[in-house]
Structure 1
């Protein structure tokens, strides 16, 4: 059973690392697009028509992928002041409730993002020439990852394994 947890944690870490690299690449690419647009507009007195919508789509990707990685690594927004005064068992229960709610949020994000993507499937973005569903795919992917990473945290906690929380050991390092 121990080796299964280690294997699953390594797979999740690989997915998390890939998501983080994709988010970073999206941020860099968006910066290049916007810089190119500024240069073209103010130096060449011309404009790149696709740079702004492409940058907005990339921004969605790096925000939602980065948020999912933050969930897995325990860096999401939380109020921990009360937890300092509670016993460990109560802390674990509150962490589990929090992770359950975050998993539900991720599932809803994926579900409703998919609904939006399907509703925009036949709409064509004129400046990019792609389906309008592309605008909503980051919601679906980010929601799925948030759900998976939150469930991973719940399963690890239920099995008595450590979960990443503000600098603590990663599940596959313990």
Structure 2
């Protein structure tokens, strides 16, 4: 990185593309979930043959929808947060707290990543009932979300530390 002012937009654009991909994949999973339940209802009430694999697929899809959506929410800074007390503090203290929050989120993502890898190793040979895919496919959602949380929050913390003395460029950045 030769110049921080040119590096920030490139890093943010790269992370933005990854977050949009998370939202796209979660959206596709949601559509598949809805179609699957439509097939369940059709199979049960019209064909009188309940497809038994729907429940397991639904559980798998919900894992991906939830974890990918959570990672994108961390990137977009739309995750649950209570800012009442932080907003009452001086601006410099607010900036420090926001950086600490990003660091805590990145560490939490790292713990999810390591725990997810452990779960993937443990469940690699176990097959999900009715789907005949490895249990590791389900825990991949946890692992990927942890890695994405670590990437999104960690890079945001680094960028905030590097630009700590600079004034905020837009009103949107002050809320982040």
What TM-score do the two structures reach when normalised by structure 2? Answer: 0.89
Match of 1:115 among 115, 118, 142: 118
**Partner of residue 153, structure 1:** 156
Would the aligned equivalents of 2:56 and 2:129 in 1 still touch at CA under 8 Å? no
The structure, 1 or 2, with the larger RCO (C-alpha pairs under 8 Å, 6+ apart) is: 1
How far off its partner does 1:49 sit? 2.3
How far off its partner does 1:155 sit? 1.4
SS in 2 for 1:111: helix
Would the aligned equivalents of 1:121 and 1:133 in 2 still touch at CA under 8 Å? yes
Please show how residues 1-174 of structure 1 align to structure 2 within 5 Å: 1=3, 2-160=5-163, 168-169=172-173
Q: Supply the distance in 1 between the matched residues of 2:129 and 2:42 (Cα, whole angstroms).
A: 23
Gaps of 5+ in 2: none
Q: Supply the distance in 2 between the matched residues of 1:79 and 1:18 (Cα, whole angstroms).
A: 27
Q: Supply the distance in 2 between the matched residues of 1:163 and 1:91 (Cα, whole angstroms).
A: 16
What TM-score do the two structures reach when normalised by structure 1? Answer: 0.90
- The number of residue pairs the alignment matches comes to 168
After superposition, the C-alpha distances for 1:42-98 in whole angstroms (9 at most, x for unaligned) are 222112222211111111001111101110111111111112211111001111111
SS in 2 for 1:130: coil
How far off its partner does 1:149 sit? 0.3
How far off its partner does 1:131 sit? 0.9
